[in-house]
Structure formats: C-alpha cells, structure tokens
Structure 1
Amino acid sequence: MLTEDCPYIDLAFSLRGETLPLDNGYIVYSALSRICPAVHQLDNISIHPIAGIAEPSKQLRLTSRSQLQIRLPVDLIPLLYESLAGQTFSIGHNQFYLDIPQHNPLYFFPNLYSRLVIIRRFQEPQSFLEAAKRQLERLGIKGTIALTTRANGQPQCRQLTITNKTGRFALRGFGLLVTDLSAQDSITLQQHGIGGKHKMMCGVFVPSRHNKREEE
C-alpha cells in the first residue's frame, strides 16, 4: 500500500471566459504552462476536467460555476497560488481569467469516477479494463471497477487531442467507475489517479452519482 507524507487538496479557481473546445485538456495545459512553468515541470499535480455547457459546435460554454481545479500536495499551494491567482491566459483569440482560489480537501467517498482514463497501448474496452485493474492492484486499492456506459449500453469512449512538433494526434480512452472503496483506498485513488496525462484532465477521480451523500 502506498502512503503519502503530504496530503493533497484541490485548488479551485473560478474560471471566467466564453468558450473552449470540448476536447480542451491539452490546450488548457499548454496555456497554463506558459504562464506557470511549474505546471509543466511538476509530476505530482493533476488538472480536473472543466465543467460547462456542451454546444453543438463542439464548444464548451463556461458558466458562473466553471472552475479550473488543480489537485496537488498541500506543500505546493504557495507556488501555484502565486503563479496563477488573478492571472489571465489565452487560447486562440479567447481570454480566460482566474480568480483567487478556494482550497478543497479530499474526502472519503466509496464510489469514484473519472470521465476519461488513458492507458497507452490499451484502446479496446476489455484489454483497457484489465490494464486498469492491474494499476489499481499496484496502488494496493481494492474495489469494483467498471467502464462507464452511454444510454445505449456502449462503453463511454473519449479522446484527448495533442499537438506537438511532429503533428497532431489523438489518444483514446474510457470513463471508469470504481465502487466499494475503503476510506484509505478512496483517498489513495484521488491522490494518484490511474493512467496517464493527469495534467491534461485524464485519470482524475471525483465522487460519482452512486454516492449516497451526493444523492441526498
């Protein structure tokens, strides 16, 4: 079982602006790295998917509740706070504004969900699920793991588009639900996530609607 010397929190910035592409994990990460190089340099931070309203044009319209949330060890709060609070960043011709953040501790939830987990070389549902189980086992986590599904029962598949010096390519992944977690395993999964590209909004676990606390 892995242990953490330093607890993690979510640093939650209110995010103001108009629209982002729906597939925005890489472009937001790149924009933040330009104004805060630590985002690129650090290995132990994750960025949550940004909530908003999906539009037919494949754009995400931000709302008054949209946030940029970064999950990080508490000893990194001063570095990220000083670099990002009150800052602006650009994506294309659009400007986005980060307000003063709130600090949200991680709580125990027995059921956790990630909308997109990417595990390289595993892009078919069954082999992906088996690879995800192995990653949970390496973390010492016991729980019930399943692919999330669409209304038609098909696995919920999404992609992350990345642009680099060699061109543009897409990584495919799936949504995952992990249930029946103990308190310790729930916190461990939230701290570490699974898969890759955590700074591009992949493999970050949050409470699912299966939690009684949310339903109440």
Structure 2
Amino acid sequence: MLTEESPYIDLIFSLTGQTLPLDNGYIVYSALSRICPAIHQLEDISIHPIAGIPESSKELRLTQRSKLQIRLPVDLIPFIYEYLAGQTFSIGQNQFQLGIPEYNPLHPFPDLYSRLVIIKRFQEPQRFLEAAKRQLERLNIQGTITLSSRANGQPQCRQLTIENKAGIFPVRGFGVQVTGLGEEDSITLQKYGMGGKQKMMCGVFVPSRRNKRERE
C-alpha cells in the first residue's frame, strides 16, 4: 500500500497527432483506459491538461510542445511505463502516438494554479470558493486561495463534458490560484490536488509563473 511519504513525480510523454477537441479531459482518459484498464481503478494518479493551439472554439491543434503528463507516486512508474510508453491510441478518426517518457520531480513553488477545479455540488463562485478553502484546511495547507478571473473581472468558469450510463453532460468548475505557500504545503497541494475528476485533467496544480498561453 502506498503511504503519504511516497514521493510523486510527473511522467512526461511526448504526444504527436493532429487535433483534439478543446474539451478533451474525459475522452483522453477513456482512450488511455483502453490501453491500460487499471487507470480506471488507480486513485493516486492525475493527468495534466494538454497544451496546444486552439484552432476554433472546439479544436486544439497539437504542437511539438504538446505532452501527456501524468502525476503519480514513484511506485507506479514501472506499471504505467509498461502500458503506455511508445503506444498509440485513437480518438474518433484521429490517432495519437506517445513517446518514451521523461521524469520530472515535484518542486515547491509559492504560487500554484489549476486551470479547472471541479467540486461536486458547488458550481456557484462564492460557495465553490468556500468549499475549496475547506479542502485546503483538510490537508493542513496554509495559503491564499482565489478564483482566476477573466479580463472582465468575472470568475474563470470552464466545463468538462463527461459520459456515463445516464448520458453525456457538462460539469462546471473554476480556475483556482493558491498563493503564499510554504515548501511543504506546495508539494502537498501538487501531490493531492483539489476536487474531483483529476484523471480527467481537473484539479492538477502547476506553478503560476507559467504564462497565460500555456494555461489556456
């Protein structure tokens, strides 16, 4: 059994292909689960949003900088490597190729950001923020948490489209920033993230110093 002391890393695969839907968290997770069914059961991994260039309101074009990044305990590296390294997967008519992964250990940063955090039953900004603060408190993390805002000052609301036996439906969430973190708290937040759907690219925290283009 994994312990709280198990160090986490980001396993980074090169990703080649043409375009993905902009709202791709669920479909990428589903495609990877077909290659490695155990991903569905594993509770200790999360998947980063994939970087690319929006070509329209619905499509994301991959570039040389596009990666599939999986955050996981070091104990799981051999398992995930065996199933995913060098593999291909399909989404619709498009095929995508994974390379041989690199490893990136987690480093503490005082300011962290997540593009989309989803907390079940909390889709109104103020109540969501209060729920997010409670999650930090449960992890004994001290920091200042705010919702990311758009140019007009409104909270940065996004959605993840998921599919289950009941059908296809969107789930709303918000961009979240946590600032003023100590080193230990920063690593803790990166390890455990915030909210649900972390295997669908939600609630994964990265340094806020990444520029706006990378975030979007």
Question: TM-score category by the smaller chain?
Answer: over 0.9
**How high is the TM-score relative to the length of structure 1?**
0.95
1:209, distance to aligned residue in structure 2 (A): 2.1
SS in structure 2 at match of 1:51: coil
Counterpart of 2:100? 100
1:58, distance to aligned residue in structure 2 (A): 1.2
SS in structure 2 at match of 1:119: coil
8 A Cα contact 1:189 1:205, kept in partner: yes
Separation in 1 of the partners of 2:22 and 2:135? 28
1:83-122 superposed matches below 5 A: 83-122=83-122
Counterpart of 1:18? 18
1:9-158 superposed matches below 5 A: 9-158=9-158
CA RMSD in angstroms comes to 1.2
Separation in 1 of the partners of 2:98 and 2:210? 31
Deviation track 1:83-125 (CA, whole Å, cap 9, x = no partner) reads 0000000000000000000000000100000000000110000
Separation in 2 of the partners of 1:88 and 1:41? 21
SS in structure 1 at match of 2:175: strand
1:184, distance to aligned residue in structure 2 (A): 0.1
Separation in 1 of the partners of 2:109 and 2:166? 41
Counterpart amino acid of residue 49 in structure 2: P
Counterpart amino acid of residue 150 in structure 2: R
8 A Cα contact 1:111 1:210, kept in partner: no
SS in structure 2 at match of 1:189: helix
Count residues in correspondence: 209
Return 48-57 or 191-200, whichever deviates more.
48-57
Counterpart amino acid of residue 66 in structure 1: S
SS in structure 2 at match of 1:150: coil
Counterpart amino acid of residue 49 in structure 1: P
Separation in 2 of the partners of 1:12 and 1:4? 22
Counterpart of 2:206? 206
Counterpart amino acid of residue 186 in structure 2: S
1:54, distance to aligned residue in structure 2 (A): 0.9
**Identical residues among aligned pairs (%):** 78
Deviation track 1:105-150 (CA, whole Å, cap 9, x = no partner) reads 0001000000000001100000000000000000000000000001
Separation in 2 of the partners of 1:77 and 1:83? 10
**Structure 1 residues 124 and 57 mapped into 2: Cα distance closer, same or farther (>3 Å)?**
closer
1:201, distance to aligned residue in structure 2 (A): 0.2
Separation in 2 of the partners of 1:169 and 1:74? 34
Task: Could you list the structure 1 runs, at least 4 aligned residues long, displaced by more than 6 angstroms after superposition.
Answer: none
Counterpart of 2:193? 193
**How high is the TM-score relative to the length of structure 2?**
0.95
1:55, distance to aligned residue in structure 2 (A): 1.6
**Structure 1 residues 210 and 31 mapped into 2: Cα distance closer, same or farther (>3 Å)?**
closer
Separation in 2 of the partners of 1:48 and 1:38? 18
SS in structure 2 at match of 1:6: coil
1:210, distance to aligned residue in structure 2 (A): 7.9
Counterpart amino acid of residue 117 in structure 1: V
8 A Cα contact 2:112 2:177, kept in partner: yes
**Structure 1 residues 98 and 189 mapped into 2: Cα distance closer, same or farther (>3 Å)?**
same
